[in-house]
Amino acid sequence: MTCNKTIAVIFLLFTVIDVSCERKQTTQIKDEQDVVQLTYWCASNQDEINLAKELVNEWNAGYPKIQVVLQPVPASQSSEEALLAAIAGKTTPDVWSNMWPGAMDDFTSSGGLVRLDQFPDFIEYMQKRMPGELLESFRSSDSHYYQIPWKTNPIMVMYNKKMFREAGIARPPRTYSEYLVAAEKITKDTNGDGRIDRWMGYRDIRPIWWQRLFDYYPLYIAASGGMTLFNGSEIAFANEASVKVFQFFNELYRHGYYPLTTFQGDAFLAEQVATQFTGPWNVIHVENFKIPGFEYGISPIPVPDDYNGPVYTYGDHKNISIFSTTKYPEAAWQFAKFLISARADLRLLEICSQIPLRKNLTVDSLYRKYFQENPMMMQFAEQALYTRGVDGSSVLKEIFDAISQEYEICAVYNKRTPQEAIANAAKRAQIIIEWNRK
Amino acid sequence: MKKAIIYILLIIGGLMFAYPFLWMISATFKPEVEIGSIGLWSSNFSLHNYAAVFQKIPIGRAFLNSIFVSACVTLSVILFGSIVGYALSRLNFFGRDFLMGVILFTMVIPFQITLIPMYILMVKFGWVDSYMALIVPSMISSFGILLFRQFFMDIPQDLIDAAKIDGCNDLQILFRLIYPLSKPVIITVGIITFMGSWNDVLWPLIVIRLQKLMTLPQLVTIFAVGGQAEGQLGAQLAAATLLAVPIILVYAFFQRYFIESMATTGLKS
Amino acid sequence: MKAGSSAIKINNKTGYLMSLPYIFYFCLFIGFPLIFSFILIFHKWNIVTPMQWVGLRNFYRLFHDVQFFISIRNTLIFLVIHIPLQIIIALFLAVLLNQKIKFKGFFRALYFLPVVVSGVVVTILWQQLFAYETGLLNLLLNKLGITKIPWLTDSRWAMPSIAIMATWKNVGLYIVLFLVGLQSIPHYLYEAAEIDGARSHQQFFHITLPALNNTMVLVMILSTIGGFSLFIEPFVMTGGGPMNSTLSAMLYIYNQAFYFGHMGYAATLGFFFALIILIVVLIQKKIVERKD
């Protein structure tokens, strides 16, 4: 009678215990004395995962007392979501190497990050690595450091040399007008089926806020001679430079030089588009997947016709941080130093083709061979000194979202003039800041 | 004549539903540049996309994870759904109708409201990155309870009375008497639950980060939407195909049960 | 409809014991999250910083939030296109299948196929179909000499396109439901009508449709509740564009919560949206009950 009931209950208990046992076993290994275990999260793209695996293996072999476990961040539209979920549940890693400066404000104001200048050798070590004034730009508003500047990816133009040559374009365009003239020569129907199948370039037309980091934002930084969205805590982007950038993209879409579509594969490699705004990480990708006979070059992004001076661009900086949930901040700092050591920087170049923030990168003998073999990367390395990041505002994403929507209406769909669009964007940004006042 | 028209229309309809899948499957065998073409054939068929997928992600492990999780959830939903459904349909107790109302009400709540608090619970229990987080929150289904209740209400009281006279208690009645009579509803709830659990992506995306614990749809989503496919459309489609194939195979075998279970569900609702 | 029994015994103890699993589950996984969400409405919280009391600020903001109301409008547009389309196609195919033909099982299984496949697969697949320049649908149209359709790049086409995709995915289920309903209509009704001289379309409107009323109701309610949670398709395919035309309510709430970190505001939106869903479902119920 009660036998059946008991059996059912016991069966259930077994299942529950069994499943949770699996978890207990793994934690037991962790708790062995003497060995410190750190979790390290790297970005989710394949190259950085490969780099991380190599560096972690090398570290673990050399430091048996400090073992590091690597976990790639699951990708979503932005890895911020995965990180937010982790912070909500205090399941953050010890070391995180995909820290975006734009997220600083949020993390630091909640005490989520370890204050790095508490380590006695931090300042000295960093100053040996990079120029002092660049280091200063990563100081947080409370004048402490919470991020270790690691790498940058300056956005430049990658262009198809063969397509340029065939269209009669002598050199890569420097100004908006030159770019538009080149676009007109490139965009055409090559196989006579009545449909254009070659374009000057392509941008994702979906109004996703971070896409603007690869079109509007770099061109705005260049056109304004190095300004960012904010000046202190005031909105500063409602100016002529922004209007010119919107105007430029508007013309590109209006004339059909950029197609109104979403490509799933890589249009640049398929020679469907002649240029793309991209960073050095793409060099290795292009090298791996290009078809025979594919020639490409790098040039700075275009600027308005009346602009003179050095060309700045967006730097897509990614830094390393240590979360304050760590039980071993000292060990984490040791590991972080290893991640930015000279040899690790070389591997960053070789495996991921991304630029480490290191002074004398282009003249140091350790890297000479690499740059000789990869002249493209030289150009990126030189551009790296003329980059700007994003402001550390906590409403940055929402403001970019507002700009993104105006960009979509004005540039992609031509339903609003650039002046109106920028004015609107500025108004919305103001409201956003208002709504999020403390 | 009329029949011919009917057949033609049905075939056109069938093509519209089947062709996209056929195209997707054939695209996974084509070299990258040929994927844009509308035809199914290519002279350059190869398995390179699948090789890429198997090389980059642990898809076999994810498959096993999905099977394990979905099976546990399904068994649990059937077990508890039938128990509670029995209570609500054959037993009379104070607050029974109120409980029914609560269950109905919960079915209307959009899950987005409860997402974050549920995640925080997972953390507090230490279940993040474990099978517990995937299984326990889905162990009971209001829908399952309702279906069981609906079905049990039609069982003749005499059968139950007879069993009571023989001295059985309620759980015995449930397991010994009612279960054998309930094959349709058990299969229905089982199939619907299994399908739902197998295809769920959002929740695993939030609570599981260790690659070796990811479920199949989660792994494929990350692969296709994230950066690991490196812009290779063929590989993305191959991953999507690998995700679709198991359930299509199961579907092909149990197709009659699938469809009839959905139909009977509809009737009862 | 209670199973008849002359002596209604009160079985409190067993009743509670057997309901215990659910009660336990409810408190933990439904009750607590709901209460927590409700508390969130009056706070500002982005998970990273501590919660901050803001009183009614979220409500004030909601009533001035044009984008939110656009998202609700979009969701309703989706429903208005998707539900009739689904009903018409499902009914049409079900009627066809109900005739005396062979291979019924085969066709039925074929139409049902998209229902079992994961939504992720369907989305990835249809992105290839909908692409403007290189998509299969436009390639096909091109071969037929028709101009390309801006499926996802025109604000008037985008939401209808998503509705088409959603219909394609789900119609198989509704074909099956309609088939069941059709098969339960007694033959003699049709025979009697034939004798009376009624033509087939008259038979359809006067016999078939009324008999399908219950099924119709079920189909409508299921589609409505499903339609309100429209999220993954615009999330993956369009990001809410073009120009906010595919921004569904759930997508907007998700953005507020996970992109911008406005947990409190998202909770407010969520409750408001749940209220709207409730109202729409109640209205549907009223209309349908009146018909009966």
Q: Which residues on chain C are in Cβ contact (under 8 Å) with A253?
A: none
The tokens describing A252, both together, are 């590109």
Using pLDDT thresholds of 50, 70 and 90, give the confidence band for residue A130. Answer: confident
Closest chain A C-alpha to B221 CA, distance in angstroms: 9
Extents of the domains making up chain B:
1-46, 50-268
Average pLDDT, whole number, for chain A?
Answer: 84
Q: Which residues on chain A are in Cβ contact (under 8 Å) with C54?
A: none
Rounded Cα distance, B10 and B30, in Å:
30
Tell me if A408 and C50 make a contact (CB, 8 A cut-off): no
Using pLDDT thresholds of 50, 70 and 90, give the confidence band for residue B263. Answer: low
pLDDT digits (tens, 9 = 90+) for A337-356: 999 999 999 999 999 888 99
Window 182-211 of C, Cβ < 8 Å to A: none
Given B93, B103, B169, which is nearest C15 (Cβ)? Answer: B93
Tell me if C225 and B145 make a contact (CB, 8 A cut-off): no
Closest chain C C-alpha to B218 CA, distance in angstroms: 9
- Say how many C-beta atoms besides its own lie within 10 A of residue A203's C-beta: 21
Window 197-256 of B, Cβ < 8 Å to A: 205-206, 209-211, 222, 225-228, 230-233, 236
Q: How many cross-chain Cβ pairs, B to C, lie less than 8 Å apart?
A: 229
Tell me if C238 and A197 make a contact (CB, 8 A cut-off): no
Whether C134 contacts chain A with CB within 8 A: yes
Q: Which residues on chain A are in Cβ contact (under 8 Å) with C135?
A: 261
Given C3, C93, C118, which is nearest B244 (Cβ)? Answer: C118
Residue A247 scores a pLDDT above 70: yes
Alpha helices (H) along chain C: 12-26, 32-40, 57-63, 66-97, 104-116, 119-130, 136-143, 158-183, 187-195, 200-203, 209-211, 213-228, 232-237, 249-254, 263-291
Residue A11 scores a pLDDT above 50: no
The pLDDT, as a whole number, for residue A31 is: 46
Residue C51 scores a pLDDT above 50: yes
More confident residue, A3 or C196: C196
Q: Which residues on chain A are in Cβ contact (under 8 Å) with C61?
A: 435
Given B122, B168, B231, which is nearest A266 (Cβ)? Answer: B231
Q: Torsion angle of alpha carbons B58, B59, B64, B68, nearest 10°?
A: 100
Average pLDDT over residues A237-248: 94
Given B13, B161, B237, which is nearest C93 (Cβ)? Answer: B13
Tell me if C242 and A205 make a contact (CB, 8 A cut-off): yes
Q: Which residues on chain B are in Cβ contact (under 8 Å) with C238?
A: none
**Dihedral sign for Cα atoms in the order B204, B209, B214, B216:** positive
Residue A367 near residue A361, CB atoms below 8 Å: yes
Tell me if A206 and C238 make a contact (CB, 8 A cut-off): yes
Closest chain B C-alpha to A278 CA, distance in angstroms: 14
Q: Which residues on chain C are in Cβ contact (under 8 Å) with A403?
A: none
A277 DSSP β-pair partners: A157
Tell me if B243 and C25 make a contact (CB, 8 A cut-off): no
Residue A372 scores a pLDDT above 80: yes
Average pLDDT over residues A49-54: 92
The domains found in chain A, sorted by start residue, are 32-152+316-383 (3.40.190.10), 156-313+395-435 (3.40.190.10)
Nearest to A295 by CA among A384, A172, A426, A152: A172
Given C11, C108, C266, which is nearest B259 (Cβ)? Answer: C108
The pLDDT, as a whole number, for residue A14 is: 44
Nearest to B200 by CA among B179, B185, B221: B221
Give percent of chain A with pLDDT exceeding 90: 44
Tell me if C134 and B36 make a contact (CB, 8 A cut-off): yes
Residue C19 scores a pLDDT above 60: yes
Residue B223 scores a pLDDT above 90: no
pLDDT digits (tens, 9 = 90+) for C162-174: 999 999 998 888 8
User: What is the phi/psi pair of residue A139, to 5°?
Assistant: -70, 140
Closest chain B C-alpha to A302 CA, distance in angstroms: 26
Whether C264 contacts chain A with CB within 8 A: no
pLDDT digits (tens, 9 = 90+) for C217-244: 778 878 888 888 888 788 878 878 788 9
Q: Which residues on chain B are in Cβ contact (under 8 Å) with C4?
A: 157
Average pLDDT over residues A143-162: 92
The pLDDT, as a whole number, for residue C196 is: 81
The pLDDT, as a whole number, for residue A250 is: 95
Using pLDDT thresholds of 50, 70 and 90, give the confidence band for residue B124. Answer: confident
Q: Which residues on chain C are in Cβ contact (under 8 Å) with B251?
A: 109, 112-113, 116
Interface with chain A: mutation pick from B32, B34, B138, highest number of A CBs within 10 Å? B32
Q: Which residues on chain B are in Cβ contact (under 8 Å) with C218?
A: 266, 269
pLDDT digits (tens, 9 = 90+) for A273-325: 999 999 988 888 888 888 888 999 999 999 999 998 889 999 888 999 999 88
Tell me if B230 and A285 make a contact (CB, 8 A cut-off): yes
Give percent of chain C with pLDDT exceeding 90: 15
Tell me if B110 and C218 make a contact (CB, 8 A cut-off): no
0.90 surpassed by pTM: no
pLDDT digits (tens, 9 = 90+) for B65-84: 999 999 999 999 999 988 88
- Say how many C-beta atoms besides its own lie within 10 A of residue A330's C-beta: 12
ipTM summary value: 0.77
**What amino acid is encoded at A383 in this protein?**
Q
Residues 6+ apart with CB under 8 A from C285: none
Rounded Cα distance, A359 and A385, in Å:
9
More confident residue, A130 or A72: A130
Tell me if C48 and A409 make a contact (CB, 8 A cut-off): no
Using pLDDT thresholds of 50, 70 and 90, give the confidence band for residue B264. Answer: low
**Into which CATH architecture does domain B50-268 fall?**
Orthogonal Bundle (1.10)
Q: Which of A158-172, B32-46, B201-215 has the highest mean pLDDT?
A: A158-172
The pLDDT, as a whole number, for residue A53 is: 93
Q: Which residues on chain C are in Cβ contact (under 8 Å) with A87?
A: 47-48
Question: Among A9-23, B68-82, B157-171, C81-95, which stretch is predicted with the lowest mean pLDDT?
Answer: A9-23
Whether A20 contacts chain B with CB within 8 A: yes
Peptide bond into A259 cis (omega under 30): no
Tell me if A262 and C243 make a contact (CB, 8 A cut-off): no
Q: Which residues on chain C are in Cβ contact (under 8 Å) with B20?
A: 125-126, 129
Average pLDDT, whole number, for chain B?
Answer: 80
Tell me if A408 and C241 make a contact (CB, 8 A cut-off): yes
Q: From A264, which residue of chain C is nearest by alpha-carbon distance?
A: C128
The pLDDT, as a whole number, for residue A219 is: 95
Average pLDDT, whole number, for chain C?
Answer: 83
Nearest to B255 by CA among A366, C104, C128: C104
Average pLDDT over residues A62-70: 90
Question: Among A146-160, A412-426, B99-113, C274-288, which stretch is predicted with the lowest mean pLDDT?
Answer: B99-113
Rounded Cα distance, A86 and A74, in Å:
11
Residue ranges of chain C that CATH labels 1.10.3720.10: 65-291
Question: Among A37-41, A42-46, A264-268, which stretch is predicted with the lowest mean pLDDT?
Answer: A264-268
Whether B126 contacts chain A with CB within 8 A: yes
CATH 1.10.3720.10 fits C65-291, yes or no: yes
Q: Which residues on chain B are in Cβ contact (under 8 Å) with A72?
A: 211
Whether A24 contacts chain B with CB within 8 A: no
Tell me if C124 and B259 make a contact (CB, 8 A cut-off): no
More confident residue, B229 or B218: B218
The pLDDT, as a whole number, for residue B261 is: 66
The pLDDT, as a whole number, for residue B74 is: 94
More confident residue, A298 or A391: A298
The pLDDT, as a whole number, for residue A407 is: 94
Window 69-88 of B, Cβ < 8 Å to A: 72, 79
Proportion of chain A in helix, strand, coil states, percent, rounded to 5: 50, 15, 40
Tell me if A206 and C261 make a contact (CB, 8 A cut-off): no
CA B214, chain centre distance (Å): 16
Interface with chain B: mutation pick from A91, A281, A294, highest number of B CBs within 10 Å? A91
Residue C292 scores a pLDDT above 60: no
Nearest to B226 by CA among B239, B213, B215: B239
Using pLDDT thresholds of 50, 70 and 90, give the confidence band for residue A88. Answer: low
Closest chain A C-alpha to C122 CA, distance in angstroms: 15
The tokens describing B9, both together, are 């229309």
